[in-house]
């Protein structure tokens, strides 16, 4: 009987070591401080750079947003629509900070998980905007989806 437990324990240890060593370690999320987060209710301009990347401007602040998977048609419906994480909603609504379970929501398609949100300077924003596939302004519907 003890031999069975020893064998089972060694198999569990071997499996966990193999799982940890089989890939790169998970990357820690680098969330923006809440005061520096992307305010989705103040979007003046957005640019779809590719299926993983958008830039967003609200006033003098510029952001680079990346998704975990390809997110084609992320501007379907005339704007970029975000869904904040439950923890962000608890602190204050209308903000995307790069945390877990923040999403870009698309009509008729599954939402796309946001991988990261980072601030960029105006020069980088303008450089990326020149490469954009599609552009929009704050005049279109944007902001949060409940």
Domain edges within the chain:
34-144
Global pTM value: 0.76
Question: Looking at the predicted structure, is the pLDDT value of residue 120 above 90?
Answer: yes
Inter-residue contact 99 to 86 (CB < 8 Å)? no
Inter-residue contact 144 to 81 (CB < 8 Å)? yes
C-alpha span between 75 and 140 (Å, rounded)? 10
C-alpha span between 62 and 93 (Å, rounded)? 19
C-alpha span between 48 and 74 (Å, rounded)? 8
Q: How confident is the model at residue 26 (pLDDT cuts 50, 70, 90)?
A: low
């Amino acid at each position: 009987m003890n031999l069975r437990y020893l064998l089972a324990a060694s198999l569990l240890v071997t499996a966990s070591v193999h799982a940890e060593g089989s890939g790169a370690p998970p990357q820690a999320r680098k969330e923006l401080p809440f005061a520096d987060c992307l305010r989705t209710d103040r979007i003046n301009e957005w640019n779809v750079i590719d299926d993983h990347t958008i830039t967003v401007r609200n006033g003098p602040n510029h952001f680079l947003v990346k998704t975990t998977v390809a997110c084609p048609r992320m501007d379907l419906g005339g704007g970029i629509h975000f869904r904040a994480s439950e923890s962000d909603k608890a602190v204050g609504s209308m903000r995307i900070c790069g945390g877990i379970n923040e999403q870009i929501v698309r009509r008729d398609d599954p939402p796309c998980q946001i991988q990261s949100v980072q601030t960029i300077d105006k020069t980088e924003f303008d450089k990326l905007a020149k490469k954009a596939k599609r552009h929009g302004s704050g005049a279109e519907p944007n902001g949060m989806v409940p």
